[in-house]
Amino acid sequence: MSLIAPDYCSVDVRVSQPKQNLPSPVLILSSPRQWLTSFGMFRTLYCQSSRTWILSILQNAVTVGCIEIEEDGKVAAFGQPGDEPGTVRITVVDDSFWTRVLLSGNLGFSEAFMMGEVKVDDLQAVIELFIDNLSGLSNISWLYNKTIAAASGLWNAFAGQTHSRARLNVVASYDLSNEMYKAFLSKEMMYSCALWSEEEGGVRGDLVSGPTPGDLEAAQRRKNEHVLRQLRLRPGHRLLEFGTGWGALAIEAARTYGCAVDTLTLSVEQKTLAEERIREAGLEDRVCVHLLDYRDLPPHFEHAFDAFVSLEMVEHVGPKYYNTFFRLIDFALKKRGATAVVSSSTFPEHRYSEYQAEDFMRRYIWPNSALPSASALVDAAYKATRGQLKLHTVENHSAHYPRTLRTWGRRFKSNVRQDAVAATHPALHDPVEFAVFARKWEYLFAYAGAGFVKGYISCHMLIFTREGDAPNS
């Protein structure tokens, strides 16, 4: 069965028309947004007003590149055709697109894409254009967001939601199976940035000469080997890991370096598969997977470990707990000769804030996640450990992430099958539901890829050593 359902049917998700002989509207309004969109007598006028507002903003907002918007066979262009980075095109399929974007900005655009209300020839190129013109485009939803902000607290006070909102809420809640991740990750199942070399054509090799069999596996093995070297591991060392994933790094540390590894996860499914893979490798006497929150380390972990590693897990810690995170690393590491490696997707310093507004990632992929900045992590490490962990090295892996994401996206499209995903989520037997689900993942790979390409987000690996330890030769 193909990945994407046939042309998306928008009938099922249009805002419901009001029934006849309704009571006073004051009694049935269910949310501030539905005040604006739910009633047939106002819907057409509101969509037209939204379209007019957005198109008027676009007249001056697009100063880099050009965007063409097609609707009902008519095309409007904004920006300068012929300018770098070129022209992108979107096609509006359902006029709900306009109200969604007006009310929620880039989050609204992602929802419109998932719902099939807009079609895009090159999704990542469109998002890159949005980033290039961010200052102007942010004006699209500013006024209306300010207007409804005071009333948005009433959202949960009234019953009911549109069909489209219900569908989007469901697609955000799927707890995906190990089998789905196997379909697009490398054989080792590493869900973090790979490191590409000239053996695979470099970070743009797939664009120049195309992907090659096993390229992702080679790049992920290189990443694991690099991380383990930075940890200065020796036979008999103990390694503590926050964020097991599916056990790839822990297995390699035990197999190659003869280490004992304790690794923590909160996912029952990941723990089950990681333990299965550990048994297959014959390493169950060296690797122990704990279903445990990092904040609940047992007393006997105190100063018991020679090394610590966490690969792209700190995004789920949150600014409030950065100090706790590093205090517990300090608690677990030996007082001398210990090393910690922490990698994370990050915001550049000028864009970082402890408050991060809801966007596509925080709403539909990793709820309540927050990207740190590199300096926020360094500062937290210094304060939490009172200088007992010192920064040794900073590496920026941002250039390697776009190819990683492109490769995941290709494999997802080729390998993820509706029947396999629906086996654990029966609602996805419905081709419309599955189409929304598939477009969510398509949007993820393009959205993150554009962020790294444009420098909107980065990926840093920080290496810490104990105060007083000599640099690693």
Measured CA to CA, the distance from residue 250 to residue 241 in angstroms comes to 8
Measured CA to CA, the distance from residue 330 to residue 98 in angstroms comes to 51
Percent of the chain with pLDDT over 90: 71
Position 274 confidence tier, pLDDT thresholds 50, 70, 90: very high
Strands 458-466, 339-346: pairing kind = antiparallel
| Dihedral sign, Cα of residue 170, residue 171, residue 173, residue 176 | positive
Mean pLDDT over 151-157 rounds to 36
DSSP state of 343: E
Give the other-Cβ count within 10 Å of 60's Cβ: 10
The CATH superfamily holding the domain 180-407+456-466 is Vaccinia Virus protein VP39 (3.40.50.150)
Say what the pLDDT of residue 85 is: 82
In the predicted structure, residue 17 carries a pLDDT above the cut 60: no
Position 406 confidence tier, pLDDT thresholds 50, 70, 90: very high
The structure tokens listed for 29 are 């309004």
Side chain identity at residue 258, one-letter code:
G
The structure tokens listed for 107 are 């989050």
In the predicted structure, residue 234 carries a pLDDT above the cut 90: yes
Query: Which sequence spans correspond to the domains of the chain?
Result: 10-171, 180-407+456-466
Measured CA to CA, the distance from residue 258 to residue 260 in angstroms comes to 7
Say what the pLDDT of residue 38 is: 52
Residue 11, CA distances (Å) to 8, 244, 455 in order: 9, 43, 39
238-242, strands of its sheet edge to edge? 287-291, 260-265, 238-242, 307-311, 339-346, 458-466, 389-396
265 with 243: CB under 8 angstroms? Answer: yes
Residue 303, CA distances (Å) to 202, 239, 306, 320, 327 in order: 40, 11, 8, 24, 12
DSSP state of 90: E
Say what the pLDDT of residue 147 is: 46
- pTM for the predicted model, two decimal places: 0.85
Instruction: Output b/e per residue, 29-41; b: 16+ Cβ within 10 A.
Output: bbbbbbbbbbbee
94 with 116: CB under 8 angstroms? Answer: yes
Mean pLDDT over 69-85 rounds to 91
Mean per-residue pLDDT of the chain: 86
In the predicted structure, residue 145 carries a pLDDT above the cut 60: no
Contacts of 233 (CB under 8 A, 6+ apart): 239, 253, 257, 259, 306, 307
Q: Give the containing element (helix H, strand E) for 412.
A: helix 401-415
Number of H helices, E strands in the chain: 18, 11
Say what the pLDDT of residue 169 is: 52
Position 355 confidence tier, pLDDT thresholds 50, 70, 90: confident
In the predicted structure, residue 278 carries a pLDDT above the cut 80: yes
| Dihedral sign, Cα of residue 220, residue 222, residue 225, residue 230 | negative
In the predicted structure, residue 148 carries a pLDDT above the cut 50: no
Q: Give the containing element (helix H, strand E) for 235.
A: none
The region of weakest confidence among 31-40, 208-217, 220-229, 384-393 is 31-40
DSSP state of 349: G
The structure tokens listed for 345 are 């997707």
